[in-house]
Amino acid sequence: MAELEGLEFGKSDFVLLDEVSMEQFMENLKLRFEKGRIYTYIGEVVVSVNPYRQMDMYGKDSIEAYRGRELYENPPHLYAVSDAAYKAMKRRAKDTCIVISGESGAGKTEASKYIMQYIAAITNPSQRAEVESVKNVLLKSNCVLEAFGNAKTNRNDNSSRFGKYMDINFNFNGDPTGGHINNYLLEKSRVVQQQEGERNFHSFYQLLRGSSDEILESLHLQNDPALYACTKEGATSNNDRSSHRAVMNALQVIGFSKEEINSIYQILASILLLGNVQFESDGESVQILQLEAVNHISDLTATDPESISKSLLYRTVATGGGEVIEKGHTEQDVSVFIFKSFGRINSVIEVKNYNPVLHGKNTVIGVLDIYGFEIFDNNSFEQFCINYCNEKLQQLFIELILRQEQDEYQREGITWQEIDYFNNQIIVDLVEQPHKGIISILDEACLTAGKVTDMVCLDSMDTKLAQHPHYTSRKLCPTDKTMDFKKHFRIRHYAGDVTYSVEGFLDKNKDLLFQDFKRLMYNRFSSSPFLKEMWPDGQLSITEVTKRPLTAATLFKNSIVALVDKLACKEPYYVRCIKPNEMKSPVLFDDARCQHQVAYLGLLENVMVRRAGFAYRQPYARFLQRYKMTCEYTWPNHLMASDREAVEAIITQHGFQDDVAYGQTKLFVRTPRSLFTLEQERAALIPILVLFLQKIWRGAIARMRCRRMRAIYAIMGCYKRYKVKAHFWEVERRFANVRTMPDYGKSVEWPTPPAALAQFHNNTVMLHRRWWARQIVKNIPPSDMLDVRAKVAALTALSGERKDWGASRAWERDYLANTSSSFSRISKELRNKDEYSQVLFSGFCRKVNRFNKSTDRGLLVTDKYVYKLEPKKQYKVLKRLPLDAVSFTGLSVTSGVDQMVVLHTSSQDDVLLCLQQGELCPNQDRVGELVGVLFICFLLLHSSAHVLCRHHSVSVPHRPEKQTTEERTHSDRGQQ
């Protein structure tokens, strides 16, 4: 049973039909075709319906799905049969074969391609170069065979006009090591004549349309197929150019040398030119009209034109006395030479470089792409041979199926029941029996001296076969008006009655390729052993040729007998191809057309033979694995002594004891209904089991995810703790000796902290800075502490806005006292008068008023007042401002090197000063000193301070009439 296919797609195996009848068979086949299921089983036989569209079922995913699986595990597919044949070959060292049959357009060629593709895909897992080379050769061979053996017909754009059998050799590892190709009954007459709307073989059009101008010129050809008699009937295809490149590449991959490829295409060119040779006859002799084509042929075949002309016009015959005479040819003889030449090309195409002696013992998978029964309105010699071939294959098929059934029943200890089936040996004997069969009668007519016609031959068959139950003609049955006198005979084949027209039988059966042509071509290729194989009998001289060549029918019979012998020693697998309609439509299913094919392919008989004993059989382990969920004693695992007892429990629970038989290793089910009962119950349980398994699996996944998350968080926690500890250890290592360092660790670089310690790191850095500052301050003398505090205050107030503010020098504060004795006296008087305790700052400055006029002044800052003094008048006090938050509101400085200072008052009568009269001395910046002492004073007295720092300098020109004050940007700095 195939997995993943519901009952809405019909029965995936015709053996499981409730009733074996043509109506039931066709109904199931049509349903599956309409549902897009083009493959259906008959046991191990695959019935394939051509879908006439691309199917998404041949990719890498499909190959993996069928690789190593059993037939019943997946829906029916070519890959399943291919894998079964490969496994039988590899596991049991058993030669196997896959027989593909069906009429033209049924999809045989495509089926063989997919089988080759699958075998190539599943072999050589180690990618050995020599094996890959053989695989490429096997795949490329199809391309070459299609070019030289396929043509467009009215029924199929890529119709195989021959049957082919490919043997693929495998080593003990199951890897391909080589192969060989045999072809059967190539339709050589197509080379010189095609029906309306059909084409010649693809290779001619590919040569003409795909070759370069240089190559065509060397072959004396032009790229227009309409110029040649052999190709003028068919239209070119858009794929001819690309196909030609593919064929050229494939020939090289297969192993043809450049010289051999050139020789093959020279033969093709010669055939095209031969088709254009015209003759005229005066009743006694025949002459060639134009010798230009003959000259071109002689150039291509490396012979002189006279030899070509002589071979075309005359044939040489040796008499019994050794005398050699010449006889004239007919145009028919030349036509035969043309298509025989083409036929010889196909006979030498095979996979190269395979030597069984070198590769040792090997096994084989054979792939047979052969035509099915053909029943046309007008059936001729080709249909006779084809139908004879199918009779032989059908006989082999029935014998192998019955033998396999009988062997299996005997091996399993099941009572064998005789199967009543039609044995077509009588029809095979009708065709091939020595001295009495149709082929013998045809050969006898061809060998008879004198004028023997097709009608004479038909009379001979009527006489010798009159009593045969499967042969008749109009002469033997005068009342049957479906046949004509002296024209038709009928054979009752196993697939139906076929009426043949005897016209042309003898001509097609004779080998009219005379020895002169063979010797000419053999001598032309004397330097090429490969191409000499095409004309082996040309090596004989005219006097050495004593026997007539075998007829076409005898050659075909011998090849089919050899083929059957090959297949008989192999384990066969079958692919039966069906053409659903004549319109190449992907949706149309022609019931009558398909029923006709089902009949002549013997598919219904195949089902009957398969079901004659037991419709279904399966090893106990596989049956138990598939149906154990339908029994409470076997699900999920049984506790019985053997799988057979467990299977018996399943059968007993469902009440099928009378419908089964127990073998040594397999269970045999007689009717499909019992199996379908199990399938329906299984199909109902599968969703429940799937949900249960999903629940268990999802729970398992959730628990695994939970454990994983817990593990992740545990690892994260441990890692974070480790990072924190590692940070502490690193800080401890770096700062272990900072107490003994000259800079107390100021130059030590702090390690980058983890994110969790960012705030802690900032606090630690701040603590270290305070500690470092404390260590520095501890070493400062008490006398210098006042300056240090002032400098720290200035640094805090300016906040880096002013680059140079006198931090590197000692601050004297009272500069006026050191430069003038009169100032000292005035200072004492003011101290007594205003009762301030200390002088914070004093110095010369230049005052700028609101009118931009500047004058020299003195500045005295005490802890209670700010004094503006007149130095020229004994430091007379010009203005006194209380140093408190009410009258004194702020101080502004610039960020440049100038000494500009603005004292802001509550009365908005600000004082603009430039410290230090005249040019500044080096390192005499006093702005920072004034800011520092005032900042400390306000902090001590009023607990607040405000300093405004002006960016850019304030310009005061020397010419009073143009004095201006420019302020561009500023920023306030404050501290509470």
928 known ligand binder: no
Radius of gyration of the chain (CA): 55
Strand partners, 869: 858, 877
C-alpha distances in Å from residue 957, one per residue of 240, 875, 964: 98, 27, 7
104 known ligand binder: yes
Our answer to whether residue 44 is catalytic in this structure is no
C-alpha distances in Å from residue 952, one per residue of 895, 932, 938, 949: 6, 21, 26, 10
778 known ligand binder: no
Which is the catalytic residue, given 40, 50, 153, 159?
Answer: 159
- Other Cβ atoms within 10 Å of 282 Cβ, number: 7
* Angle, helix 305-313 to helix 515-524, in steps of 10 degrees: 160
Our answer to whether residue 892 is catalytic in this structure is no
The CA distance from 49 to 274, in Å, is 41
Residues near 340 by Cβ (< 8 Å), separated by ≥ 6? Answer: 188, 513, 517
Our answer to whether residue 372 is catalytic in this structure is yes
174 known ligand binder: no
The CA distance from 7 to 74, in Å, is 15
CA atoms within 13 A on the CB side of 179: 30
Angle at 467 between CA 466 and CA 471, to 5 degrees: 65
For the chain, the first-to-last Cα distance in angstroms comes to 92
Our answer to whether residue 504 is catalytic in this structure is no
Q: Which tokens sit at 957?
A: 């020109």
Q: Is 833 exposed, middle or buried (0-12, 13-18, 19+ CB in 10 A)?
A: exposed
* Angle, helix 202-210 to helix 258-275, in steps of 10 degrees: 100
Our answer to whether residue 82 is catalytic in this structure is no
The CA distance from 807 to 931, in Å, is 12
C-alpha distances in Å from residue 972, one per residue of 189, 378, 454, 933, 949: 110, 114, 127, 19, 6
255 known ligand binder: no
Q: Look at residue 971 and give its three-state secondary structure.
A: strand
Which is the catalytic residue, given 43, 105, 366, 663?
Answer: 105
Our answer to whether residue 104 is catalytic in this structure is yes
436 known ligand binder: no
Which is the catalytic residue, given 48, 101, 150, 160?
Answer: 160
The CA distance from 422 to 433, in Å, is 19
The CA distance from 850 to 830, in Å, is 28
Residue closest to 620 by CA, chosen among 659, 663, 676:
663
Which is the catalytic residue, given 366, 372, 613, 890?
Answer: 372
DSSP state of 190: G
Type of residue at 474: R
432 known ligand binder: no
Q: Is the peptide bond before 75 cis (omega within 30 degrees of 0)?
A: no
Q: Look at residue 877 and give its three-state secondary structure.
A: strand
The CA distance from 565 to 558, in Å, is 11
* Total residue count of the chain as it appears in this document: 976
879 known ligand binder: no
The CA distance from 837 to 863, in Å, is 7
Q: Look at residue 466 and give its three-state secondary structure.
A: coil
Strand partners, 576: 47, 101
Binding residues for ATP: 102-109
Binding residues: 102-109
The residues assigned a catalytic role are 104-105, 109, 156, 159-160, 372, 374
